[in-house]
Amino acid sequence: MHITSVRCILTAPAGVGLAVVKVETSEAGLHGVGCATFTQRALAVRTVVEEYLDPLLHGRDPSGIEDIWQLVYQNAYWRNGPVLNNALSGIDQALWDIKGKVAGMPLYELLGGKVREGAAVYAHAEGRDADEVLDQVLALRADGLRHVRCQVGGYGAARLTSRSTGSGGRLPHAQPGQYFDPSLYARAVPALFEDLRAALGFEMELLHDVHERLAPIDAIRLAKDLEPYRLFFLEDPLAPEDRGWLARLRAQTATPVAMGELFTHPLEWQEIIVRRQIDFIRVHVSDIGGITPARKLAALAEAFGVRTAFHGPSDVSPVGHAANVHLDVALPNFGIQEYTGGPDVLREVFPGAPEQRDGYLVPTDSPGLGVDIDETVAARYPLHADMAQFRDGVVDWTQSRRPDGSLNRP
Ligand code: KDG
Ligand code: MG
């Protein structure tokens, strides 16, 4: 058996640009699929897959997953960036899918078998004030969810800055962008959780994503301010570039810390895991190169008491969600799975896509990942200039600015 073709399929059925790699083999009907979604730069990923990896992999035996992973990893000489890692993930996940199909086993069996029946998930609630957030939390609770991430005014409370306080207002001539006021944000979040806990008590597990929006010392103060509300975790309190501050944060607060959705290089996680400076590692599996490196990372984390919380936003394809869930049920140190459901059309494009029920995702028992892509249906939903995260073909929301007009990490 050998690889006959490697292609990257782009589709946006839910308005979010997704990238999926399909690896075909010399055995009739035997193929695998893998998530390669880097929504902000999807065309670059497709170029890498189709112009460089297809010729590289033609004729090779798809059963040698580790060898092919290493081959693709070092083939460009420069490595560890998000475009190359997503392309690599597309190949890697597709090869695991093929191996499962050849073995007649679901991926979780290849990973050592299940240690749990389902992966507990957390969902996202967002509103302009505590009442709006609370309504969403209650709706999610009624749907069986026990874990909810709560945001007021979106990431960085950006949608609060236009209030009549004037705080966060834009100076004349300041450039367009998504304006937010870090100090207003840092005050709004503890107030939100005070109201939520008053209404909900402590039974629900609540989370919050700082989304690397604060200066390090302000993030430390926020983590301390949030202690009374017993968060399940505080997500990305620091930017990857500021992770040297984690030791100080840990020394000052017992609020659990989750980091990693922006990590693409192993050196970004090794030290903070070994020094036990985070509680949850929440990498985006396709951004680190797929299932093969995710297993190794999880094993490292297990040795140091760090749990997984793989990134699972709407810009992970259902193929990527399936890969996450197989890992989640097989890893002893699984912590929680972020999961953003989507409209039913996603299941038409991706038959077998995992579905959340009563707060859990459960993998299918079909061989491999258990999910496929229907290319005919996918072709009905091409990428376009105004899909999620874009406006007029340009990524919009990452142009985040402070009241003085200067750029801030998004
Ligand atoms: O494309 C970026 C999104 O995936 C990210 O902003 C979502 O932070 C996010 C999360 O935790 O889901
Ligand atoms: Mg996040």
pLDDT tens for the chain, 410 residues: list them.
999 999 999 999 999 999 999 999 999 999 999 999 999 999 999 999 999 999 999 999 999 999 999 999 999 999 999 999 999 999 999 999 999 999 999 999 999 999 999 999 999 999 999 999 999 999 999 999 999 999 999 898 888 865 434 444 677 788 888 889 999 999 999 999 999 999 999 999 999 999 999 999 999 999 999 999 999 999 999 999 999 999 999 999 999 999 999 999 999 999 999 999 999 999 999 999 999 999 999 999 999 999 999 999 999 999 999 999 999 999 999 999 999 889 999 999 999 999 999 999 999 999 999 999 999 999 999 999 999 999 999 998 999 999 888 999 99
For residue 92 and ligand 1, the question of a CB distance below 6 A is answered with no
> What spacing in Å lies between the alpha carbon of 68 and ligand 2's midpoint?
30
Q: Which fold has domain 110-367?
A: TIM Barrel (3.20.20)
Distance (Å, rounded) from C-alpha 226 to C-alpha 249?
13
> Which residues, 6+ apart, have CB-to-CB distance to 138 below 8 Å?
none
Write down the pLDDT at residue 269: 98
pLDDT at 10: 98
- Residue 400 pairs in a beta bridge with 178, 408
Nearest ligand by distance to the CA of 395: 1
Picking from 45, 16, 17, 19, the residue whose alpha carbon sits closest to that of residue 34 is 19
- Residue of 122, 152, 148 lying closest to 137 (CA atoms): 148
Q: Is 211 in the pocket of ligand 1 (CB under 6 A)?
A: yes
Neighbours of 146 (CB within 10 A): 18
Q: Count the Cβ atoms, other than its own, within 10 Å of residue 253.
A: 19
The Cα 66–Cα 177 span in angstroms is 43
* Sequence-ordered strand ranges (E) for 146-262: 147-152, 178-179, 205-209, 233-235, 257-259
Which residue's CA is the closest to the ligand 1 atom numbered 10? 313
Catalytic residue among 31, 147, 211, 326: 211
Report CA(155)–ligand 1 centroid distance (Å): 10
Q: Which of 147, 151, 311 to mutate to test the pocket of ligand 1 (most atoms within 8 A of CB)?
A: 311
Closest residue (by CA) to atom 9 of ligand 1?
313
Q: Is the dihedral of CA 287, 292, 294, 297 positive or negative?
A: negative
Q: Is the CB of 261 under 6 A from ligand 1?
A: yes
Question: What Å distances lie between residue 298 and 239, 246, 319, 332, 376, CA to CA?
Answer: 21, 20, 20, 9, 36
Quick one: pLDDT at residue 167?
A: 44
Alpha-carbon distance of 223 to 246, in angstroms, equals: 11
Which tokens sit at 328? 């989640």
Domain ranges of the chain: 110-367
Ligand 1 in contact with 209 (CB < 6 A)?
Answer: yes
Question: Could you give the CA distance from residue 302 to residue 273 in angstroms, rounded to a whole number?
Answer: 9
Q: Which of 155, 185, 339, 360 is catalytic?
A: 155
**Has 122 been annotated as catalytic?**
no
CA-nearest residue for atom 5, ligand 1, is 313
The residue nearest atom 8 of ligand 1, judged by CA position, is 211
Q: Which residues line ion ligand 2, judged by CB < 5 Å?
A: 209, 261
Report if pTM > 0.85: yes
**List of E strands, 118-276:** 119-127, 147-152, 178-179, 205-209, 233-235, 257-259
Identify whether 211 is a catalytic site residue: yes
Residue 268 has phi, psi (to 5 degrees) of -75, -25
- Nearest atom, ligand 1, residue 410 CA: 6
| Tokens read off for 365 | 């028992």
Is the CB–ligand 1 distance for residue 212 below 6 Å?
A: no
Encoded amino acid at 292, one letter:
T
Residue 125 forms beta bridges with which residues? 150
Q: For residue 130, what are the contacts with CB-CB under 8 A and spacing of at least 6?
A: 152, 191, 192, 195, 196
Distance (angstroms) between ligand 1 centre and the Cα of 395 equals 14
